[in-house]
Structure 1
């Protein structure tokens, strides 16, 4: 699929360099580059650390930088992280974000000017992470389309788009958001911080609010999802934006190459019965507190189920004494696991997760139901939809792991009729997702629209 483009096509791509935002954007940009004409070039802007991490990543779960082709046409440019020399961080995890974003309007312009000077081509399209709300004005000043990318799911996007309405109309924590199309299963307490609770005056909350106000100005908004996952929300978002394009799931549309399995997880799984293994991973950002790690370990030991647990080495000290020895015949604790490959293995019967969006899509692709323990951001929304919307998993009772709660969830998913129903439901979503990225699928057609848009003069 090669789309004709004018000889001067130069797509500037601006990544948000925190969390798991930059890698999925690079993944789809490589797909776009591979499908574009040879004359189209892509300049990718992020911090030095972010660029180094994602451009050297060959594989990985969660939409890693690998896959998609087009790598030679995508050049990385480093943007200042906004941290003054000698600065000491004192205000928590949001401080680096605030420093970067405050510096970004000016530092991005300087970096883009450098790319224009090096290539001899003016920018013809501005693709950014949706968090860069000020890109609406930047693109207008440059006279080019603004095409933001939303990395999470449609529910979270809808919540941020309707923030003012929610603040005006919503009541208590367990009140439904039924006044917003497709959000009847969502409760106020499920919303991300900064919508109705948390520090609404913080820089991050203000930034996300501004994003919700600015996104309708975009030429198009694209997202790592597929329309069939939730047609009601998709149709509502289509009515709010000039163009709304589901172009995922990326892990199915452009699968990363096989990951290195240094811990031997896959051969170990080959020896287990179908649907019998518990896979546990909470992503790269969060580690549950010690008491919850102990509760998980005690439940695994008591139940005797087979498991693979992806747990950083420095967190293993919080496991109960003797746990690793007592479970070594049926359990495997590793510092890193090839998540996509594990979730696609027939022996895996349930995924214990923080409900991050990329992990959710990988679980759907593997047809594996979930046990959810959300921590922050969109994870509560995802957990609610997993349990009550799509009915493909279950949330931990009370929101935190206890030994009894973990045992109960394992029993429900692995042994009860309710778990069987979850597997049937997620199999349907897997088939819909696979069809969406197929030759005539909705995501494939939307990708063609996105490709045409960024290549238009």
Structure 2
């Protein structure tokens, strides 16, 4: 079988890691590729639940089609609260669940797969692409700093092999270029901490070993964010392509604002509002809800709070009434547009990479309360490397620390310095996505790989 060295007849198998905020960046990138390559078909593989959430209400291009894969969950499965539990069950179902669905897609579309584009976590896709004799493109939805740490997993383990985690947790990673300010305790679970023999850490370790074999590794970032780390990653991969911030490259219509957050923000002066969102995976622990509300109330700053799950039920009685004139609590916000609004002056965040990119794109300093994964490492970079935000020192929100960092961010010289620093990063990000910018040129390279295939 042969396929012409053009976009005619191309079929890209897009394989998602259907958890947390991984699907959005991958789907956003696919939309952009599909718009630029209208004759290439993009089959998007994720669980039924993920596809239903991401494909239900939106008009998609004619050349993007979702296909469901088995999620690996036993019948009647009830999660016990740890975010890795359904992930590990899903991983046990791979790669057979994807292979079955790819066969269905090939039959329905009538084209063999000519390229595999996957979330980098799913390293097994590299082997699937190798079996088919097609390129494998891996997308890192986290940042380049966590990727660097994962690449150095074996070196890190060897360096600290003779020490317990407690003995080395305060030691900096001075032996890794670009990570000299990062401490061992900041590393994502699965590199040194946690059960290293469970499915999730093994997946991450295998990813670090497989990615150098990929045709290209893409990341939601821009080269100028840290030239040292960029050069480290370029030296480790065949092609390392920064194609972000993805929030600045999306050409689709703005997200709906069903709770009128943007008109509400219009009422306030520039850089005066606190925006609060801890992502969609782990809600703020009940023990931290009251200290946060006390700090918000006492600070006097206007605030917009995106609350998920049952957190709203934990808010103290009377708080909503006492802060009604300057506070707004909603179950969802159009975050990219909120962070781009001039009235937002501080972002209280879980420090997920997508949120950090959106905060940089909006020029908004951060107050970081990390929970898991790469979030502690990201917090270290935000505070100690870039100087564009604060980390919660105690590891959990306390009233007076939160009051302090809110005032330091929104009032006085310290806040101005952080706004100036993130403003410079914002400028670099905007330049990267302009015509001729580094991310724009990297996207062209990615498009060439997707559309120019020989089988």
TM-score band (shorter)?
over 0.9
Check whether the contact 1:5–1:39 (CA below 8 A) recurs between aligned residues: no
Aligned partners of 1:283 and 1:383: how far apart in 2? 15
Q: CA deviation at 1:249?
A: 0.6
Q: What is the Cα-based RMSD across aligned positions, in Å? A: 1.7
| Cα distance in 2 between the residues matched to 1:388 and 1:428 | 16
Match of 2:321 among 312, 318, 325: 325
Q: What SS does the aligned partner of 1:43 have?
A: strand
Structure 1 residue 197 corresponds to structure 2 residue 193: yes
CA spacing shift, 1:318–1:424, aligned 2, 3 Å: same
Secondary structure of 1:72 counterpart: coil
Aligned partner of 1:162 in structure 2 is 152
Matched residues in 1 for 2:289 and 2:24: separation? Answer: 28
Decide which of 263, 266, 282 is 1:267's aligned counterpart: 263
2:83–2:281 contact (8 Å) kept in structure 1: no
1:23 is matched with which residue?
24
| Unaligned runs of at least 5 residues, structure 1 | 59-65
Match for 1:429 among 425, 429, 438?
A: 425
Query: Which residue is equivalent to 1:187?
Result: 183
Is 2:409 aligned against 1:413? yes
How far off is 1:89 after superposition? 5.2
The match for 1:242 among 238, 241, 246 is 238
Shift of 1:298: 0.3
Task: Give CA-to-partner distance per residue, 1:257-289, whole Å, 9 cap, x none.
Answer: 223223222222111121111111111112111
User: How much does 1:91 deviate?
Assistant: 8.6
Q: CA deviation at 1:85?
A: 3.6
What is the 5 A alignment of 1:167-178?
A: 167-170=157-160, 172-178=168-174
Give the Cα separation in 2 of the matches to 1:284 and 1:380: 17
SS of the residue corresponding to residue 388 of structure 1 reads helix
Confirm or deny that 1:129 pairs with 2:141: no
Match of 1:150 among 116, 119, 140: 140
The correspondence of residues 346-425 of structure 1 with structure 2, limited to 5 A, is 346-425=342-421
Give the C-alpha shift of residue 440 in structure 1.
Answer: 0.6
Aligned length: 444
Q: How does 1:78-117 map to 2 (within 5 A)?
A: 78-87=68-77, 92-117=82-107
Q: What does residue range 58-97 of structure 1 map to in structure 2 within 5 Å?
A: 58=58, 71-87=61-77, 92-97=82-87
Tell whether the 8 Å contact from 2:91 to 2:199 is kept in structure 1 after alignment: no
* Alpha-carbon distance, 1:400 to partner: 1.1
- Residues 302/214 of structure 1: CA separation in 2 closer, same or farther (3 Å cut): same
Distance 2:14 2:53 in 1: 17
User: Could you tell me whether the CA contact under 8 Å between 1:277 and 1:348 is conserved in 2?
Assistant: yes
Contact 2:29 2:246 in 1 (8 A): yes
* Equivalent pair of 2:409/2:415 in contact (CA under 8 Å): yes
Q: Distance in 1 between matches of 2:13 and 2:401?
A: 48
Assess if the C-alpha contact under 8 Å between 1:263 and 1:334 holds in 2.
yes
What CA distance in whole angstroms lies between the structure 2 residues aligned with 1:175 and 1:194? 17
Distance 1:259 1:409, change over 3 A: same
CA drift of 1:39 comes to 2.6
CA distance in 1, matches of 2:224, 2:341: 24
Runs (4+) of structure 1 moved beyond 6 Å?
none
Choose the corresponding residue for 1:304, options 300, 304, 319. Answer: 300
Q: Gaps spanning 5+ residues in structure 2: where?
A: none
**SS, match of residue 12 in structure 1:** strand
State the match for 1:10 in structure 2: 11
The TM-score, its normalising length taken from structure 1, stands at 0.94
Residue 345 of structure 1: CA displacement? 1.2
Deviates more, 1:70-79 or 1:226-235: 70-79
Once the two structures are TM-superposed, the CA of residue 93 in structure 1 deviates from its matched residue by 3.3
The alpha-carbon deviation at position 99 of structure 1 amounts to: 2.1
How much does 1:321 deviate? Answer: 2.0
